[in-house]
Amino acid sequence: MVDSSVPRPGEPAPDFTLPSTAGTDVTLSSFQGQSNVLLAFFPLAFTSVCTTEMCDFTDELAAFAGMNATVLGISVDSIPTLKEFQAKYQIGIDLLSDFRREVSTLYGTLLQDPYFSNRAYFAIDKQGIVRWSHVEENPGHKRGNRELLDRLATLA
């Protein structure tokens, strides 16, 4: 079931600022006019599907860059946990900590019972508009890079 607060295609992407594994805060609106953004909400670091997904993004960084897209992984894990996860698996994308669960709530992806984010994707164009979104029915499933790259190819 899709939460009614999930931003729909054609709507402005809700802005946010989160700490990142790069050691700086990342603000979504800072990408406007610069690059498309793929927000990839994932449940928890070090779990099998999440590890595979983040490693898959890393393996195809050049393909995402070729779409002028910045991939940002977002989870409720703390920065120290995300840094350890990133180092262990040599993950090449910035990981953002939504430790307070504010952005997961804002994007309608927070699962209340386990209290972590569902797996979800938001393709946002250079103008800051959501052009595609997908929230998994089951957080144990993920979209493949081919599908995500095809979605990004349609952005202006």
Catalytic residues: 50
What H or E segment, with its residue span, contains residue 6?
A: none
Query: In the chain, what are the helix, strand and coil shares in percent, each to the nearest 5?
Result: 30, 25, 45
Q: Do residues 9 and 133 touch, judged by C-beta distance below 8 A?
A: yes
- C-alpha 64: how far from chain center: 13
